[in-house]
Structure 1
């Protein structure tokens, strides 16, 4: 999905400027003192160019410090971790005790489907962080914030692949949840169909269910917060409401917000509402 959520950046920049007086001073130097702020950019977690991530570690961290993982959008075929930098900056300002991992993943194409390639990339990053938890002075507990295709991957990893139950929360901002939704299978949009074809032009339904967070959701899923636009041309409203209903039926802690007049991204009061709710959710489940 092409991310129409770049309007998010303007709000994040404004809030960050307001909060800059409380932000910690950055340093790029690694020292043996674990209580200093530290960042490491473009850490390789595989052999391909896209398999890199950025890591931001807060001052005064301990082995109880949790990490929030940012997953960019772009229809599984584009986008970059830099698209999430303003979200990263806002989290650093409002949650100075959290570590942040902002990752790139391999693009899908006619030869390589999004699933399982891209969830495998997330697995590699989480495995790397767990293996180096003592080095970085962080815990094995994580949260996700994903936008669009990145939200789909965040939900799918949290619901289907978190065998250690290390995900404390997951946020989906306009993320696809059900690739077998009739609104997808019977769609008439060439742009949308071109993106869905990344999963195969005549995909097996069993495969689509395996790649759909809705079908992988169980009662042991982590707390989930969902944001959707009622006029989104790429994400039918049912992608959000059906997941909401299943979360409720399984008694999984969740919050759901639908902005009836918004599309694949929003600004103004709706965007302020999004961050206010997400901030409270992070405070409750990850902070």
Structure 2
């Protein structure tokens, strides 16, 4: 059963939202950006055992949970018994980089959710761009056993890829994550923030989606992740669609993405 903790938090307003009940702006930490929207199954008899956590992108310095709202309706429709948590996290700057505080925010959010329900829950992390990177980095680097699925929507897995570090057009791309330091100056930091480095046989099953003309995630990134996961026998699936960084894909490809995610969840979680 759903913990009564959620229903008695002072100041929260519950809204009917399709197959779910929305509890907006739930704080999971003390920082103003440490909030999440929680979508609970509307059935009083629902026993939540699975939680999909949505993690927005924005190059580690921008973005908000509202950016992930396009994915909520199909998750509500296809998984009426799942809880959905759409989270904000502390944004990074050159002076206060995203690493490690953003990974710590993911841990804090999942710790809050673990304590919210009366039964043990497992998680899928569904991130876009920087949010997909953070989802992979958190799950792979910390070997989080209750994270069962990663959805990488145009997420970069390897910041040490020569396609990045050998191309001056990408200089400064990661400063809001690691601080104003190029790979040549601090390779250990770029290694530490590359999800690919941490992949092992216990890593979460992963599905990923990439564009064939993405100027922010080079075409070399997806094969690197696919091959590393495959080398450890981790279930994975990847698709490439025509277009750029997720924003100009066709309606047919966006629908195919939804179908692929639903099938992957049903088969592997």
Q: TM-score range by the shorter chain?
A: 0.7 to 0.9
Q: Of the candidates 243, 263, 266, which is equivalent to residue 244 of structure 2?
A: 263
Higher strand share: 2
Partner of 1:180: 160
- 8 Å Cα contact 1:55-1:101 kept in structure 2: yes
Q: Distance in 2 between matches of 1:275 and 1:89?
A: 10
Partner of 1:171: 151
Partner of 2:209: 227
Partner of 1:155: 136
Partner of 1:54: 37
Correspondence 1:91 to 2:69: no
Q: Which runs of 5+ in 2 are unaligned?
A: 1-12
Pair 1:44–1:168, CA change in 2 (3 A): same
SS at match of 1:132: coil
Q: Distance in 2 between matches of 1:253 and 1:281?
A: 10
Q: 1 or 2 for the larger relative contact order (CA 8 Å, sep ≥6)?
A: 1
The equivalences for 1:184-195 within 5 A come to 184-189=164-169, 192-195=170-173
Higher helix share: 1
Displacement of 1:282:
1.6
Displacement of 1:41:
1.1
CA RMSD in angstroms comes to: 2.0
Partner of 1:141: 122
Q: Distance in 1 between matches of 2:104 and 2:120?
A: 21
- 8 Å Cα contact 1:209-1:216 kept in structure 2: no
- TM-score normalized by the length of structure 1: 0.81
Q: Distance in 2 between matches of 1:267 and 1:44?
A: 36
Q: Which runs of 5+ in 1 are unaligned?
A: 1-26, 31-35
- TM-score normalized by the length of structure 2: 0.86
Count, aligned residues: 248
